[in-house]
């Protein structure tokens, strides 16, 4: 099966969040399962310079007034996964972020940038370029590619089938009519604006999201952000498939970013990682002091405001807090000030650093990963793999992946972290307090840590679910392995 995987970012070529990790790891897993897959993304300057064996393969036709389009081919720098980059110096050849300028403001032409990107992807999928490769199915991701299913659905004649994945319903790509190029007639209207996310949800042959629980949640007004009705209308064409992690990148036994490697039953290296993390961040190296890590966007969704409110409580508990993230400027400033006031207790790094993110996962004892809503979440999956017990709220993929530690779950050997329900500072503190209490009981802490590290969240099982979904939408009946049971039942139902 020939698959075109279309995304606005993919690690390590360009990254702002979890979408980039998924866009690198899922295609690689699909390739292992026999798919002839190519990733398509914009040619940001940082992506072009990292591409291996890069070469211009064709010129793209004009669209929406853009005439400088090129298609660049190559492979990821760390594997043989093929990549095509849609190049336009006018739209993508600029300094700054992928979606925002250096001041944190959205690029004023984002509507045009990603309309052009989706149109170029549609032309490629329909054979309007001369590269000699046509996909059987196009998998589009998030609002940046939302127009792609629309363009293909309105093509008269043979076309590839489409799957559209929404990774976070809060990010919708809503634009004023004056900012959007002429797209023809389509059902994009959303409270007086044009919604690229709605286009993807409306016109794709099948729609997915990134965990079974989030799939149920976004059918409600609370989590659907105004588009729950559009999803409900899709009926059985909509499902949730849990994300995974790339264990060739996120694995404490082989992680090249760590000062020492370790395994579930050989964790001496984790103690080395903790000591070196403390030293690097300027915290006193104290092996018996619990280190609480927080690596995330500093936003309301991620309860960063609750973290700020909890700082005095954390400072009084004899723990250390290591924060890596960026987002709300006021929260960034408050964290930086708190670190200055309590340099032996709090360390705050504003910005995202991939190397430091790996070191934080390995060197922390507890990962604080709360959220008011969370489609899937990857940091808690990394934490489980690294023996860093996560504190999470029971929502979305967090509910699907972390089992709360209590007397029953310890006895039946399922415990893997600490879960709370109330999306408040008090709710978060209650779970964090239980985590700190268990840390003082090292025998049970080590038991839960071992259970967390031996859970499996690699991509192969989820990639298998996607492959069966692809086979179903292209007319080939999915075939599930008979031995799959338990958690796979949701995936079997999801694939139809």
- Cα distance between residue 143 and residue 165, in whole Å: 9
Q: Are 319 and 344 in contact (CB under 8 A)?
A: no
List, as own/partner pairs, every contact residues 220-225 make where C-beta atoms lie below 8 angstroms and the sequence separation is at least 24, other chains included: 223/169, 223/373, 224/169, 225/169, 225/170, 225/172
Q: Are 245 and 227 in contact (CB under 8 A)?
A: no
- Cα distance between residue 359 and residue 353, in whole Å: 10
- Cα distance between residue 318 and residue 291, in whole Å: 10
Sheet of strand 2-6: strand arrangement: 52-59, 70-75, 82-87, 36-42, 2-6, 137-141, 161-166, 206-209, 238-240
- Find out whether 15 is annotated in a ligand binding site: yes
Q: Which two tokens stand for residue 257?
A: 């970013």
Q: What is the DSSP string of 387-423?
A: T-EEEEESSHHHHHH--B-SHHHHHTT---BEEE-S-
Q: Are 364 and 341 in contact (CB under 8 A)?
A: no
* DSSP label at residue 467: H
Q: Are 240 and 216 in contact (CB under 8 A)?
A: yes
DSSP strands (E only) in 7-92: 36-42, 52-59, 70-75, 82-87
Q: Are 172 and 198 in contact (CB under 8 A)?
A: yes
Task: Give the CA distances from residue 474 to residues 1, 135, 236, 383, in Å, rounded to whole numbers and listed in that order.
Answer: 10, 11, 16, 37
Pairing type for strands 161-166 and 36-42 reads unpaired
Q: Which two tokens stand for residue 7?
A: 């995304």
Query: Cβ contacts of residue 224 below 8 Å, gap of 6+?
Result: 169, 218, 231
Residue ranges at the known binding site: 15
Residue ranges at the known binding site for ADP-alpha-D-glucose: 15
């Amino acid at each position: 099966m020939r698959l075109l995987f279309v995304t606005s970012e993919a690690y390590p070529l360009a990254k702002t969040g979890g979408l980039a990790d998924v866009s690198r790891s899922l295609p690689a897993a699909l390739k292992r399962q026999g798919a002839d897959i190519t990733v398509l993304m914009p040619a940001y300057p940082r992506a072009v310079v990292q591409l291996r064996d890069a070469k211009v393969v064709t010129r793209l036709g004009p669209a929406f007034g853009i005439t400088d389009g090129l298609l660049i081919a190559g492979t990821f720098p760390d594997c043989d996964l093929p990549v095509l980059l849609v190049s336009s110096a006018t739209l993508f050849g600029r300094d700054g972020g992928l979606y925002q300028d250096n001041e944190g403001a959205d690029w004023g032409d984002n509507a045009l940038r990603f309309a052009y990107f989706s149109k170029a992807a549609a032309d490629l999928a329909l054979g309007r370029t001369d590269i000699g490769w046509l996909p059987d199915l196009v998998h589009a991701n998030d609002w940046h590619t939302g127009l792609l299913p629309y363009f293909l659905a309105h093509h008269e004649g043979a076309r590839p089938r489409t799957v559209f994945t929404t990774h976070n319903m809060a990010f919708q790509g809503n634009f004023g009519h004056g900012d959007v190029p002429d797209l023809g007639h389509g059902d994009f209207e959303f409270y007086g604006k044009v919604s690229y996310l709605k286009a993807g949800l409306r016109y794709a042959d099948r729609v997915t999201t990134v965990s079974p629980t989030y799939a149920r949640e976004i059918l409600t007004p609370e989590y659907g952000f105004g588009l729950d009705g559009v999803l409900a209308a899709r009926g059985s064409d909509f499902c949730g498939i849990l994300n995974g992690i790339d264990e060739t990148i996120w694995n404490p036994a082989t992680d090249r970013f760590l000062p020492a490697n370790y395994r579930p039953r050989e964790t001496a290296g984790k103690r080395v990682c903790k000591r070196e993390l403390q030293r690097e961040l300027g915290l006193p190296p104290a092996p018996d002091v619990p280190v609480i890590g927080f690596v995330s966007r500093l936003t309301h969704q991620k309860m960063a405001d609750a973290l700020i409110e909890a700082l005095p409580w954390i400072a009084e508990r004899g723990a250390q807090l290591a924060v890596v993230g960026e987002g709300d400027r006021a929260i960034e400033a408050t964290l930086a000030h708190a670190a200055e006031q309590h340099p032996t207790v709090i360390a705050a790094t504003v910005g995202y650093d991939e190397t430091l993110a790996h070191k934080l996962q390995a060197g922390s004892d507890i990962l604080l990963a709360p959220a008011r809503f969370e489609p899937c979440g990857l940091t808690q999956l990394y934490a489980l793999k690294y023996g860093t017990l996560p504190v999470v709220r029971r929502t979305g993929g967090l509910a699907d992946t972390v089992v709360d530690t209590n007397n029953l779950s310890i006895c039946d050997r399922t415990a893997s972290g600490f879960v709370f329900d109330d999306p408040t500072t008090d709710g978060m503190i209650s779970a964090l307090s239980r985590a700190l209490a268990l840390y003082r009981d090292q025998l049970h802490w080590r038991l839960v840590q071992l259970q967390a590290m031996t859970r499996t969240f690699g991509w192969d099982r989820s990639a298998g679910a996607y492959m069966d979904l692809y086979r179903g939408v292209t007319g080939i009946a999915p075939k599930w392995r008979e031995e799959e049971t338990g958690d796979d039942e949701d995936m079997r139902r999801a694939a139809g």
